[in-house]
Chains A and B, each alone.
Chain A
């Protein structure tokens, strides 16, 4: 005997985007932990990079006598944020569209904003965990001093938050460009180039000025700069191209990326490859 399915006699309005965003955050996290390859890659990559670079350049101090590991932590923390936001979201979204997961969300009536919020929620949680592991390794294995005082931790928090959200939005935007294979390859290549341009691997002020100018268009350069202001001693500000940490500018650039990017995504977002 089968149960009888009937149309709903009364129908309350479907739940708001925020409710669906929260449900999707839980779902995305559950799917994330059930994909061991993704967990390992997201968490291990920045740590492996830190270990490699800190070992190879162990004796080389950076401008102002800052130990290499301390200088590099700023760049690799920023890279980690881009990895868990921009790269993870862009790749996953293109795959979900190709598999038809997004087509299902569309016919169920998911608001795009609810879907975006789910991605952002998942990104924030994984970013926090990844940074916690990275900082612990840096502090214990390489004696990198942790930020002293609430002010630096506050800067760390808003820079990380802004970077993760900007990266999420950028990932959503990029994933609309092509097939999942094209997007996957494109994102990885773009991320590597951006890391070189943005001063993750080299001292930013020592890069050619055209590279600095290109990098300034994208969020990663500002994210790295914000992280330097958190992890480097005050004296290191002298080596900055602008002569200051430019916190106002960092906040502005990241906010513009989030707000403008979100507006663009809401208009260009597609559940399917063709309509």
Chain B
């Protein structure tokens, strides 16, 4: 049973005026320490938004507040126009969640598990299509206890999208997947986006954020230090190029916003020809990311 209908054009017009997620001044403390410390965040309908940051930055706490499974200590949160701390079942049915680790009942097969949980939703994806979409067709008769770590993760993804949600939360979805499974999972997320599902995911893999996200929010120490498309992340930091060369056997290095001017001076100083060891580099995404999460929030947000 192959489903090969082409992806419909993503509906870019929102069914209502609300953004998918709107967060203002979110604070969550554990034992007096703020793990989420004044986060403002908007996720547009139909986009893939990645929350990127090192372990302990507050990604999971933030996403769990948005999912309505964790209390907040301050701030306003609206997810699909409702406060997740109070929203009811109808809201929950519009939201899909793939958490970091949740149980699924080991003694059932994949098909039994999916057929059972299909009955909790107002409308549910057909089990055959679902296992095909997540790449579990071969394992459909296997008991959950005998699935590999990656297959188990795919089952959790299947359960997250089974109710055909408008908004899908993925908390470190590819942790534990091998590179092939990871690529398949990326294709699935791209398919969901093409179909019009809004996706909010957390990851500490930079390449994952770059490959999937329309926009990336970088969290460090409970604060959002930058929000931009992967190409534009850390625009300030990227503008600074590093010019390196060797002078009298000594390596020299200049950080500058105007590398051409530095080069002109250098060339003028070497009328005879080559400048030994000359390079001009701009920071890659990884350099930008590292300086963003390494910087104090005050510095990064000026």
Q: Which of A6, A15, A99, A275 contacts B103 (CB 8 A)?
A: A99
User: Size band of the A side of the interface?
Assistant: 35 or more
Q: Mark A99-125, 1 if CB is under 8 A from B, else 0.
A: 111011011111100000000000000
Residue of A5, A31, A107 with highest tally of chain B CB at under 10 A: A5
Is the CB–CB distance between B69 and A14 below 8 Å? no
CB of B13 within 8 Å of the partner chain: no
CA A272 – CA B101 in complex, angstroms?
A: 12
Cα–Cα distance between A96 and B103 once the two chains are bound (Å): 8
Q: How far is the CA of A30 from the CA of B105 in the complex (A)?
A: 11
- B197 in contact with A5 (CB, 8 Å): yes
In the complex, the answer to whether A5 meets B123 with C-beta atoms within 8 Å is: no
Residues of B within 8 A of A6 (CB): 8, 164, 195-197
A107 and B5 contact, Cβ closer than 8 Å, known pairs A14-B121, A15-B120, A30-B108: no
Confirm or deny: A244 has a beta carbon within 8 angstroms of a beta carbon on chain B. Answer: no
Query: B93 touching A14 by the CB < 8 A rule?
Result: yes
Chain A residues contacting B112 (CB-CB under 8 Å) are: 30
Name the distance in Å between A5's Cβ and chain B's nearest Cβ.
5
Q: A96-B103, A272-B69, A275-B71 are in contact. Are A4 and B188 (CB under 8 A)?
A: no
Residues of A within 8 A of B (CB): 1-8, 10-15, 19-20, 23, 27, 30-31, 34-35, 96, 99-101, 103-104, 106-111, 271-272, 275
Interface residues of B (CB under 8 A from A): 2-5, 7-8, 67, 69-71, 89-90, 92-94, 97, 99, 101-105, 107-108, 112, 116-117, 119-123, 125, 129-130, 132-133, 135, 159, 161, 163-166, 187-188, 191-192, 194-197
18 contacts across the A-B interface (CB closer than 8 A) = A1-B3, A2-B3, A3-B129, A4-B195, A6-B8, A7-B166, A8-B163, A8-B164, A11-B93, A13-B90, A30-B108, A31-B107, A96-B103, A104-B159, A107-B69, A108-B92, A109-B92, A275-B69
